[in-house]
Amino acid sequence: MKRVIVGEIGRPHGVRGLVRLRAFTADPRAIGNYGPLTDEAGTRRFAVTAMPDGIARIEGVTDREQAAKLTGVKLYAERDRLPPPEDPDEFFLCDLEGLPAFGEDGAKLGTVRAVQDHGAGAFLVIDAASGELLLPFTKAVVPVVDVAGGRVVVVPPGEVIIPPQPGEAAA
């Protein structure tokens, strides 16, 4: 089941278990409509009620100490619970996972295993016959994203394909 990050629990607010909430949804107060939400591992569930000014109540959390233990927890919703993007050119990054990746010449390069973002921009992880390819997710490197057609077209930059240097095999 594909999941999409929809928010992150911040620091406690007050002494009754309320928390600050960073919602990544178009309407921050609608975050609770996509739940129950889960943590990154998918093991813990959270029923969230968003309140004004970025504050939220989490079911079962009744004091500041419990709320503090949740600081930094990222909240995920199942992909099928989210509305489809209004613009046909928009998509969720998780929608790319599993799509075949083709080169400009039409040759299949591999399959998108993941889309990762560690703060410096997203990149595609492609399982290719030659091994794993990590490609920056930019318009220059990924000029075509056709979720409806079930494919992406990639143009790997020359710097990404580096042949092994003498002595690297031993390392």
85-119: pLDDT as tens digits: 778 778 888 889 999 999 999 999 999 999 988 77
Classify burial at 75, counting beta carbons within 10 Å of its beta carbon; exposed 0-12, middle 13-18, buried 19 or more.
buried
Which pairing describes strands 3-13 and 74-78: parallel, antiparallel, or unpaired? antiparallel
Q: What is the pLDDT of residues 50-76, one digit of tens each?
A: 999 999 999 999 999 999 999 999 999
pLDDT at position 80: 86
CA geometry: angle at 78 spanning 118 and 95, to 5°?
60
First to last CA, the chain: 38
pLDDT at position 87: 80
pTM, 2 dp: 0.71
Classify burial at 101, counting beta carbons within 10 Å of its beta carbon; exposed 0-12, middle 13-18, buried 19 or more.
buried
Distance CA 171, CA 168 (A): 5
Q: What is the pLDDT of residues 125-168, one digit of tens each?
A: 999 988 898 999 999 999 999 988 899 999 988 765 566 777 77
Contact 68, 11 (CB under 8 A): yes
